[in-house]
């Protein structure tokens, strides 16, 4: 696939502050791509650099094969949707959506058709004559989307577009935005600090910390094979256990893990930072299992329930592993055939060896 956006060594300084430290990335045509990271990591700055609202200190932004250095924001094939919607409350929905067509030279009827099509696309067909101030938050965000899409950009840039919505509306809009992106086939670049939102919506995610991309991968690869503890901790929950590398064999390592014992780890489960004799093994809560009444097996250890959180569909147990001070989080789906264990109960804890990840010691 051809990249629609290519970023080469993008550097951005605000005075002494180094906000972007050499960003290299290619974003493919038709991709739903997210920039994910904690507050202040530079994701909005990078989005604004792509849009042309922010100059780079050095580096090159290419869009659709063209160098953007001399191209101002309003001449780029991009459009931006902001968190604050930025719609005009005193105008009607149709006037808001058609705002960018004012200087298009199109006939009134042609504009009206485009507006109605754009409103249909975001599920607001028939709302054209409503005043924008009489809309809910979710509807306003749809107006902002329709207004951005009517100009047929090659790339739509979305800066935390759902963060002002309540949880239910946000979840609904996440699904709608994803469907809309598939329908129009335009590249969407979403800025978010919400890892769940990024996982649900994206084809690929760039995780950023302190002005750098730490990892760029599909949601599944990011979750299953984070390249560092920092990425692993940012995406979901992960248990970390001290580890000692005992032997190296072709394609795998023999590792002694705190609280668990000796396991085999394939080399593709070893992160680039893990080279020494000691390290840390990461394992997700769902890759640990309570074996209930099953007889003790070689690949399990006894644990005691220290605490639990019941979520209806799932229970998250804090299990203290036998012979160790370590408490790990184990998540179990609640089934009618499976009791929810009480505090103080003991159970065998098993693990999925293929889901272990070995990180470096720091």
Chain residues binding ligand ATP by CB under 6 A are 14, 17, 19, 37, 39-45, 193
Element (H, E) at 120: helix 108-121
The residues pairing with 188 across neighbouring beta strands, listed in sequence order, are 32, 156
Which lies closer to ligand ATP via its Cβ, residue 209 or residue 240? 209
Which lies closer to ligand ATP via its Cβ, residue 36 or residue 132? 36
Per-position b or e across 72-104, b if 16+ CB within 10 A of its CB: eeeebbbbbbebebebeeebbbbbbbbeebeee
Smallest distance from the beta carbon of 130 to ligand ATP, in angstroms?
31
Pair type for strands 155-159 and 187-192? parallel
Which lies closer to ligand ATP via its Cβ, residue 38 or residue 126? 38
Cα distance between residue 42 and residue 19, in whole Å: 6
Which lies closer to ligand ATP via its Cβ, residue 16 or residue 342? 16
Smallest distance from the beta carbon of 35 to ligand ATP, in angstroms?
8
Tokens of 32: 């739903």
Smallest distance from the beta carbon of 246 to ligand ATP, in angstroms?
41
310 in Cβ contact with 317 (< 8 Å): no
Smallest distance from the beta carbon of 17 to ligand ATP, in angstroms?
5
Smallest distance from the beta carbon of 1 to ligand ATP, in angstroms?
27
201 in Cβ contact with 189 (< 8 Å): no
Cα distance between residue 129 and residue 334, in whole Å: 49
Which lies closer to ligand ATP via its Cβ, residue 116 or residue 210? 210
Which lies closer to ligand ATP via its Cβ, residue 117 or residue 210? 210
Which lies closer to ligand ATP via its Cβ, residue 21 or residue 299? 21
Residue whose C-beta lies closest to ligand ATP: 44
Smallest distance from the beta carbon of 192 to ligand ATP, in angstroms?
8
Smallest distance from the beta carbon of 273 to ligand ATP, in angstroms?
23
Tokens of 29: 């045509």
Cα distance between residue 73 and residue 54, in whole Å: 9
Tokens of 162: 């759902």
Smallest distance from the beta carbon of 235 to ligand ATP, in angstroms?
16
Please compute, for residue 64, the number of CA atoms within 13 A of its CA located in the half-sphere on the CB side: 10
Taking alpha carbons only, the member of 54, 42, 39, 35 closest to residue 18 is 42
What is the number of other CB atoms lying within 10 angstroms of the CB of residue 298? 6
Smallest distance from the beta carbon of 216 to ligand ATP, in angstroms?
16
Which lies closer to ligand ATP via its Cβ, residue 40 or residue 89? 40
DSSP structure string for 171-231:
HHHHHHHHHHHHHH--EEEEEES-HHHHHHH-SEEEEEETTEEEEEE-HHHHHHS-SSHHH
Which lies closer to ligand ATP via its Cβ, residue 31 or residue 159? 159
């Amino acid at each position: 696939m051809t990249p629609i956006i290519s970023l080469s060594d993008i550097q951005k300084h605000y005075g002494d502050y180094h906000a972007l430290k050499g960003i290299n990335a290619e974003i493919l045509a038709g991709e739903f791509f997210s920039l994910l990271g904690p507050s202040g990591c530079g994701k909005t700055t990078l989005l604004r650099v792509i849009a042309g609202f922010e100059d780079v200190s050095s580096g090159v932004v290419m869009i659709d094969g063209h160098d953007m250095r001399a191209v101002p924001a309003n001449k780029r094939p991009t459009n931006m949707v902001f968190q604050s919607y930025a719609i005009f409350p005193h105008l009607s929905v149709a006037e808001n959506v058609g705002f960018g067509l004012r200087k298009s030279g199109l006939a009134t009827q042609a504009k009206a058709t485009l507006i109605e099509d754009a409103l249909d696309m975001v599920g607001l067909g028939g709302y054209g004559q409503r005043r924008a101030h009489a809309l809910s938050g979710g509807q306003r965000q749809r107006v902002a989307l329709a207004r951005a899409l009517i100009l047929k950009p090659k790339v739509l840039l979305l800066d935390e577009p759902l963060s002002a919505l309540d949880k239910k509306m946000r979840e609904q809009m996440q699904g709608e935005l994803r469907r809309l992106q598939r329908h129009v086939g335009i590249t969407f670049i979403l800025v978010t600090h919400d890892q769940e939102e990024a996982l649900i919506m994206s084809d690929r995610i760039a995780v950023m910390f302190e002005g750098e991309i730490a990892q760029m991968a599909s949601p599944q690869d990011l979750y299953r094979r984070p390249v560092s503890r920092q990425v692993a901790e940012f995406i979901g929950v992960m248990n970390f256990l001290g580890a000692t590398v005992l032997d190296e064999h072709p394609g795998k390592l023999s590792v002694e893990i705190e609280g668990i014992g000796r396991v085999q780890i394939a080399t593709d489960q070893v992160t680039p930072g893990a080279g020494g004799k000691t390290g840390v093994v990461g394992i997700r809560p769902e890759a640990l299992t309570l074996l209930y009444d099953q007889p003790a097996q070689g690949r399990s250890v006894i644990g005691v329930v220290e605490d639990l959180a019941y979520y209806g569909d799932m229970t998250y147990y804090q299990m203290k592993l036998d012979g160790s001070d370590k408490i790990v989080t184990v998540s179990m789906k609640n089934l009618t055939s499976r009791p929810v264990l009480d505090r103080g109960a003991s159970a065998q804890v098993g693990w999925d060896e293929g889901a272990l990840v070995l990180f470096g010691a720091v």
